[in-house]
Amino acid sequence: MKWLDRLRSIRRSQDGYTPLIEVGISRDNLLHNLHTYQEAYPGVGIIPVLKSNAYGHGLLEIARILEGEGVPFIMTDSWFEAERLRKAGVRQRILIMGYVRPELIARQGLRDVDVAIVDIEQLRELATLARRSARIHLKIDTGMHRQGLLPEELLEVARIVAGNPALVVVGICSHLGDADTAGSAHTDAQLTSWRHILQEAQTLFPQIEYRHIAATAGMAHADSAGGNVARIGIGLYGIDTSPGASLPVQPVLELRSSIVSLRRIGKGESVGYNATHKTKSESLVATVPMGYFEGIDRRLSGSGVMQVAGQEASIAGRVSMNMTSLDVSDIPNARRGDTVIAISRTPTDPNSVIGIARRVGTHPCEILVHVPAHLRRVIE
């Protein structure tokens, strides 16, 4: 794939445009994380999850890096994502885990794509439409009560599948709703339900190839729950949300821009909307051309930091739609054009994904998926 990187570099040099904002994607860190999970769980096939623009990292960019890494399949949430991958030339088998309209499944317009069945009505409708072979995974509701076939519906599922030979059950799966809580009674109850269902399903559908309930937070249960594959989303991108000892994964994404304006203002002056920031002394304020449209969480207004010349600079006032102001008074060498790191790859930094999520009181996934798709991803 090095020739592709060279081609992209040539195109960037020819188009004469250097974007003000870049999303840096570390190939080494991504592959390190995948291999870390593969080595830690050798009895379980690791399934990279590429939904939601690969957790904000870039759907096509991440898929291309992972090609040739020997994973059983990759996972998306939607037909749209799978279609984008196929149109871009990605050949890896795909599982679509979210709801897909039965007519799309029946049409089978995409090669080597499996689809999760998430409720009985979807399966009934598909059974009336399918004429070509459709490989399906049965998603079972073991207690999260968000999606999935009910355990008591398994016999009816078997009857429906038997009535249409085009329906081929190749997988069974579920999802743990509280796996990131240590000692969760809810997780224990789900696992008990899952084991009973798995035993029944393997009798009804002996051709099942894939069994999966564990995701990043629940990897400790991957083997004991009888799974032979596990879905790794946020962990693949460098954040291990499991409640036990974390694996040494490394963040993949860095969001950066530069200072485009500097101004020195006097004591008692305000910065930004609604005059929420008042200077306590003469201050040097830098403007960075990215705001909440570019993935800077508005809840960081007046409390977050970015990095300029390796030093922390506080966000001064409200984060605007396309701009953020920084107080760089303590960075005397700050200059127009200096690189600004808005989201750091160093987990201990206050502006890392974990640090930002803690500061604003949310899950790291929310920070990552809000890095917009239109920003240029640069594979490093």
359: tokens are 């500061």
CA 120 to chain centre: 28
The active-site residue out of 37, 51, 139, 210 is 51
Q: At what angle do helices 59-66 and 27-40 cross, to 10 degrees?
A: 60
Catalytic residue check, 55: no
Closest CA to 370 of 215, 239, 255: 255
Query: Active site includes 51?
Result: yes
Distance (Å) of CA 197 to CA 142, 176, 212: 9, 14, 12
Distance CA 294, CA 300 (A): 13
Q: Which of 87, 139, 237, 273 is catalytic?
A: 273
HEC states along the chain?
CHHHHHHHHHHHHHHCCCCCCEEEECHHHHHHHHHHHHHHCCCCEEEEECHHHHHCCCHHHHHHHHCCCCCCCEEECCHHHHHHHHHCCCCCCEEECCCCCHHHHHHCCCCCEEEEECCHHHHHHHHHHCCCCEEEEEEECCCCCCCCECHHHHHHHHHHHHCCCCEEEEEEECCCCCCCCCCCHHHHHHHHHHHHHHHHHHHHCCCCCEEECCCHHHHHHCCCCCCCEEEECCCCCCCCCCCCCCCCCCCCEEEEEECCEEEEECCCCEECHHHCEECCCCEEEEEECCCHHHCCCHHHCCCCEEEECCEEEEECCCCCCCCEEEECCCCCCCCCCCEEEEEECCCCCCCEHHHHHHHHCCCHHHHHHCCCCCCEEEEC
Q: Which residues are catalytic?
A: 51, 273
